Amino acid sequence: MRAVVMLSGGLDSATVAAMALDRGFEVSALSFDYGQRHRVELEAAVAVANSLGIIDHRTVAIDLRSIGGSALTGAIDVPKDEAGTEDAIPVTYVPARNTVFLAIALGMAEVVGARDLFFGANRLDYSGYPDCRPAFVEAFERLAHVATKAGVQGERFEVHAPLMHMTKAEIIKAGLALGVDYRLTHSCYDPAPSGLACGRCDACRLRRQGFETAGVPDPTRYRP
């Protein structure tokens, strides 16, 4: 059976891809070139796909800068050294990003004959993003059944978010057990032109704390 896995090149999605393979799926990986500041993650996605033996890896270009509204694609600065809270939605939130990405993954699933979609949504770490919650995943599944040729013909789509309730440390341990090479992954929202991580944005802080809590060495190359 084939599954479409959204592969950003980050730690989470690399782990999700390894999980999908471990469950016996043939994986079609999907990455997005959406005008993100951290485009270096696209190279990481290619490296991760190669290291996992994923042959079908497509990158869809979509210029979300045209609609603006986020620190990840626009002129707003990426915040540093700030703790996220349950209530505040970070400025790095890209309006409707996961809705857009899952919609494209759904289209790709129809094309490659997959009925399973995997993505790295995580409730605990990214509680500030509305489109990383179980309610979002369920609503998207319901939409998939009425939005597609396959759904109308009675087939069921399943949206898997295996990391939903895991901590970053748990994700890292699970990935290491599956042989994920985290050196290849990229998490920083605001990397140096060389690709080195800033070590201070939300994504860097969560990643660093994850390795610390997991008690394993952090292979990330940080900016001096």
Q: Which residues bind its own copies (CB under 8 A)?
A: 30, 58-64, 66-69, 89, 93-100, 102-104, 106-108, 110-111, 130-131, 133, 135-136, 139-140, 142-143, 145-149, 151-152
Cβ-based nearer residue to its own copies, 12 or 141: 141
Question: From the CB of 70, what's the least distance to its own copies, in Å?
Answer: 9
Question: From the CB of 112, what's the least distance to its own copies, in Å?
Answer: 8
d(CA 55, CA 45): 12
Cβ-based nearer residue to its own copies, 139 or 196: 139
Q: Which DSSP state fits 222?
A: B
d(CA 65, CA 71): 10
Cβ-based nearer residue to its own copies, 57 or 186: 57
Coil, strand, or helix at residue 117? strand
d(CA 189, CA 41): 9
Cβ-based nearer residue to its own copies, 134 or 219: 134
First to last CA, the chain: 45
Question: From the CB of 165, what's the least distance to its own copies, in Å?
Answer: 17
Cβ count near 211 (within 10 Å): 18
d(CA 87, CA 129): 10
Question: From the CB of 61, what's the least distance to its own copies, in Å?
Answer: 5
Cβ-based nearer residue to its own copies, 47 or 103: 103
Question: From the CB of 137, what's the least distance to its own copies, in Å?
Answer: 9
* Distance (Å) of CA 115 to CA 135, 150, 151: 20, 9, 9
